[in-house]
Structure 1
Amino acid sequence: MRTAVALSAWAPLRRPTFRALWIAQFGANTGTWVQTVGAQWLMGDLGGRALQIALVQTAMTLPVFLLVVPAGALGDIVDRRRLLLCGQTAMFVGSGALAVLTAERVTTPALLLGLTALMGIGDALCVPSFQAIQPELVSRAEIPQAALLNGANANVARAVGPALGGALIALIGPAVTFAFNTLSFLGVLLVLYQWRRPTDHHPLGPEHVLGATRAGARYIRSAPRFAAVLARSMLFMLFASGLWALLPALARGPLALAADAYGLLLASVGAGAVVGIVVVPRLRDQLGSATLSTAGMVVFAGAMFVIGVVESVPAVVTALVVVGLAWIGVQSTLNAVAQILLPAWTRARALAYYQLVFMGGQALGAVGWGVLADAAGLRTAFVAPALGMLVGALVSVRALPLPKVRPDLKTVHYWPEPTGRSRLSSGAGPVLIIVEWRVDEANASLFVAAMQHLERSRRRTGATLWGLFQDTEEPTLFVETFIVATWHEHLRQHVERATALDRELEEIARKLTIDGQPAQVRHAVWAESVIRVRSNPR
């Protein structure tokens, strides 16, 4: 385990590919916010009520919620650069079609939501892979800074995009916002096309999508520290989504603002994010990730309460600056911790679950707070999630701890080559692995405790069932068993998935054995699968 090293917040920008992609993404993020203002304002012009305006956000985020997990699996088994190109192209097409239809004045609420959903599908293909390539673009020590810069990128774009979108609507109309967004994708497409990404190395060949998806879910179930990050993100997004979904209705209603003034409201959030570039790294060094995440939720909740209760534009603008600072503090911190906790082999598919709770909380929360706004009024729809976030912050303090050190997750080969490999087909299985440990009775309780941590390691890398037994006749003999779906999947444990952390956990157990002797390992394959293969040779 290694502790974090303090670096300049700007350090990742020294990396040429990261810098080029960061600049291109700023253009795309700005275009997205220009279109967001245009789509929400157009829905209002088309007669949409608060719920329909909120559904614009849902149309963009719900496809991500539904598709991001298989997209994450794809990101781990196909070339991530090509997958990103496909997703960006889909978003380019959706935005372009919306620009043309709106210019021709034939856009309907259904078309607006449908084409926005197409862009959401493209976004679903991109989100986990964009997250997963960050460790390929910067050093491991620079990941927190890269996450902060990426968060700032999106939020500075939030400062520029909405104001620009509001101005474009006021001067020309909503159609130009969609055209601007269409052009903004070209920069990202160009950088991705020119990026010469090293070829992925899969010693045992690429996984199938379904199997890779299962492996990702299995990893998440056996990674409690990563699960804590997911839970914190869900608590935050479920309640924070009310602000983003209902701010347009607040601007058009109680605040009585025009489109350009609404854009300036969102620009205030971006201004807070700019402040966060300087403030957040210092706060993270002083408070730690867990405390900073919790404090950010409390500050966000307080600002959201002010926005919903005080019908004063200066007060709302000030509160939105605070929102931007709290938003980037929470999101960049959780995102950095998520990336640090994941090994390369499962990074995209596991980060897909991070995006699942992020987008899912945003999509489902937007619908829920939209319904509440229609039923009980905007003030209630702002106050209720603010109070909910305060409760979530209190829960996270004790129930959802974040790690204070960075685990060593580089791939290592520390298991000996399994015998009988050449006689079995890759699909033979299930495979039973039997590990015999010799442990002095004085160390038995410590050994059992160590094996509970090793159980998670086995399950993270591929085990579906696990057990530890003590021999009744020889109390010093402990028998560990675990089952892997196929022989090929077990070979992936040997060759592709084991990390230095897994080796460390096994070493802790081994030191408790008699004279530190290594465990004895045997492999057994489901007999019918072996007989079937031998009866039907290729």
Structure 2
Amino acid sequence: MTAAVQAPSSTWAPLRRQAFRALWIAQLGSNIGSWMQSVGAQWTVVHQPEAATLTSIVQAASLIPVLFVSLPAGVLADVLDRRRLIGVLTAVMVVITAILAVLSARQLVPPATLITITLLLGACQALMSPAWQAIQPELVPRAELPSAAALGSLNVNIARAIGPALAGFVLALTGPAVVFGVNAVSDVLILVAVLRWRRKPAESAGPGEPLLPALRAGIRYVRYAPGVRRILLRALVFVLPASALWGLLPVVAAAQLGLGSGGYGVLLGALGLGAVGGAVVMRPLRARLGRNTMLAAATLAYAVGVFAAALLPNAVAVALLLVLGGTGWLIGLSTLNTTLQLALPGWVRARALAVYLMIFLGGQGVGALIWGLVAAGLGAAATLTISAVLLVLGAVSLVVLPIHPRTGELDRTVVMPWPEPEIGILADGEAQLDPAAGPVLVEVSYHVPPENAAEFLKVLARVGVSRQRTGARRWSAYRDLAAPDRYCEVFEVGTWAEHLRQHHERITGVDAGLYRKAAGFALEPPENRHLLATGR
């Protein structure tokens, strides 16, 4: 079952909404500060011995924490107030960055200290990112989500166009301490905007799900969502080779092109300028091209930028082709992010987005570290050439491993298609179950005539994936040997509370459509039984 098709909105439509606009502007200021921080941190070590390794480590240090905290962060974003979570983490980042500025002013920031503080800031950002991603559907209607995702990517890339060049100018006039101080002030903008945002009461009420079961539920959802898994695979195939450019561009600027901090900032600004252009052309491209064609074209455009950085000795030529690379980066990133946002139901959005961020940002961090080590042996030019070839191969692989065509178009609205489970009086006279009681075994039996059996079993297999995606830890289907036209699906849920969440919070329109389709092959409505484990 597909969601209602709505006309694509203008790229700029979300900015008409006050809450989105205020947070977007604040995020732009913060992102400019973050890019200034990144340039200041990398340029601090670019003239050290083993510069290729150190600059890649600094790049990786800001991203690798996502591998360890992204999943717990997604759980927190789904079970806590997202506004409050963003506010607290932003305040912590302001304090950490201010400390870095003070230490830098006193020349107390050796590479080890810089890397440690960068790790702490990366951990805070990783904790906040799933909540930030998950609030987007609260700020704009579903029809505007692709535009909101494009504007989010545009935000980062406008900052990339401005922040590095501004950082190069500030570094030339003053030093890293001022750059770090500007970043601390920029994060205050986010704090003010978040404090002024008022969420609707229904949206701020969390589901009250315990953290560990919520974490397991999120992992289970991704495991049994084929469309989501394919997006994650495409993100990994793109970002691992793409990360080489971000990690090695400082070395290319300094050693290969003979540029100073200002020139490095201009190269990063060229990538950002290309991304701004990508945001402008993406809507008409989306109207004409499919997701897979857009992703392939974007990957090839980015590969051209990487080839330029690897092979061209002229800084102007490199900058011009990096504009094309920035366009590819924006379109590729936005295509993946938008498709995933549209594919996820609200109850698990932050957790699944956390897995995506763990793969994309973590892959970027690990990739930068690996490419830095490779460059220490082969040189930056050869390493970038290898990464560009891998990008081209990744684009070609879309022929055999595309994004599934219906991903992002299925109805993910939460519904309640099941009747409430019947509970008799228990042995102790109570009619209420302990939410922690379990495991719970659910049996659903069908009376299916022989002529419907083959098609019914195909649909039932998809029903089984749905049961597991929404909470079942085991699922099986059986045929009654005494009555061959009787079939039974059996699935186990960990606790009674988890099963009630299946009933009330996790079944979407596409799941309900599968259940109705399976029931349509039967001669009468399916029969349900709930069994609770004894002796526990």
TM-score higher than 0.5 here?
Answer: yes
| Mean CA deviation greater in 164-173 or 493-502 | 493-502
Give 1:197 shift.
1.1
Q: After alignment, is 327-336 or 468-477 more displaced?
A: 468-477
Alignment match of 1:382 (pick from 381, 384, 395): 384
Shift of 1:29: 0.4
CA contact (8 A) 1:58 1:367 kept: yes
Q: For the residues of structure 2 that align with 1:145 and 1:364, how far apart are their CA atoms?
A: 30
Residue 468 of structure 2: aligned partner: 459
Q: Work out whether 1:30 is the aligned partner of 2:16.
A: no
Instruction: Tell me the percent identity.
Output: 42
Equivalent pairs counted in the alignment come to: 527
- Quote the Cα distance in structure 1 between the aligned partners of 2:101 and 2:223: 43
1:129 matched to 2:131: yes
Dislocated runs of 4+, deviation >6 Å = 201-204
Residue 200 of structure 2 aligns to a residue in which SS?
A: coil
Letter matched to residue 161 of structure 2: A
Q: Is the contact made by 1:94 and 1:116 (CA closer than 8 Å) also made in structure 2?
A: no
Residue in 2 that maps onto 1:488? 497
The one-letter amino acid paired with 1:521 is N
CA contact (8 A) 1:251 1:257 kept: yes
Does the 8 A contact of 1:204 with 1:492 survive in 2? no
Q: Is 1:527 paired with 2:534?
A: yes
Cα displacement (A) at 1:303: 2.4
Q: Quickly say closer, same or farther: Cα 1:485–1:203, change in 2 above 3 A.
A: farther
Partner of residue 408 from structure 1, selected from 385, 407, 411: 411
Q: Which letter does structure 2 place at the counterpart of 1:486? A: T
Q: Secondary structure at the match of 1:228?
A: helix
CA spacing shift, 1:203–1:446, aligned 2, 3 Å = farther
Moved more, 179-188 or 84-93: 84-93
Deviations 1:171-228 (A, max 9, x none): 1011111001000001110010111112356999511111111100000000000111
Decide whether the 8 Å contact of 1:411 with 1:499 is kept in 2.
yes
Deviations 1:441-482 (A, max 9, x none): 111110111112111211111001001111122121010000
Report the Cα offset of residue 406 of structure 1: 1.5
Q: Which moved more, 1:87-96 or 1:53-62?
A: 87-96
Q: What is the distance in 2 between the residues matched to 1:52 and 1:16?
A: 42
Does structure 2 conserve the Cα–Cα contact (< 8 Å) formed by 1:372 and 1:380?
no
Alignment of 1:509 with 2:512, yes or no, is no
Contact 1:303 1:320 in 2 (8 A): yes
Matches within 5 A, 1:112-151: 112-151=114-153
Per the TM alignment, residue 397 of structure 1 is displaced from its structure 2 partner at its CA by: 2.6
Aligned partner of 2:420 in structure 1 is 417
Question: For 1:196, what is the secondary structure of its paired residue?
Answer: coil
1:241-280 per-residue CA deviation (whole Å, 9 max, x = no partner) reads 0000000011110101011111011110111111112211
Give the equivalent residue in structure 2 for 1:206.
208
2:478 maps to which of 462, 469, 475: 469
CA-CA distance at 1:401 after TM superposition: 2.5
Q: Is the 8 A contact 2:50 2:376 kept in 1?
A: no
Q: How do residues 86-101 of structure 1 correspond to structure 2 at under 5 angstroms? A: 86-101=88-103
Q: For 1:426, what is the secondary structure of its paired residue?
A: coil
Give 2:457's match in structure 1, choosing from 440, 444, 448. Answer: 448
Q: Distance in 2 between matches of 1:481 and 1:158?
A: 53
2:477 match: secondary structure = strand
Q: Tell me what 1:436 maps to.
A: 445
In structure 1, C-alpha distance between the alignment counterparts of 2:311 and 2:485, rounded to whole Å: 67
Unpaired stretches in structure 2, ≥5 consecutive residues? 425-430
Alpha-carbon separation, structure 2, partners of 1:241 and 1:4: 35
CA contact (8 A) 1:341 1:406 kept: yes
Residues in 2 aligned to 1:112 and 1:203: alpha-carbon distance in whole angstroms: 39
Q: Of 53, 56, 59, which aligns to 2:58?
A: 56
Q: Within 5 Å, which residues of 2 pair with 1:156-175?
A: 156-175=158-177
The reply to whether residue 77 of structure 1 matches residue 79 of structure 2 is: yes
Map of 1:6-405 to 2, 5 A cutoff? 6-45=8-47, 47=49, 49-200=51-202, 206-404=208-406
- CA distances 1:103-153 after superposition (whole Å, capped 9, x unpaired): 001111111011111111110121001100000000001000000001001
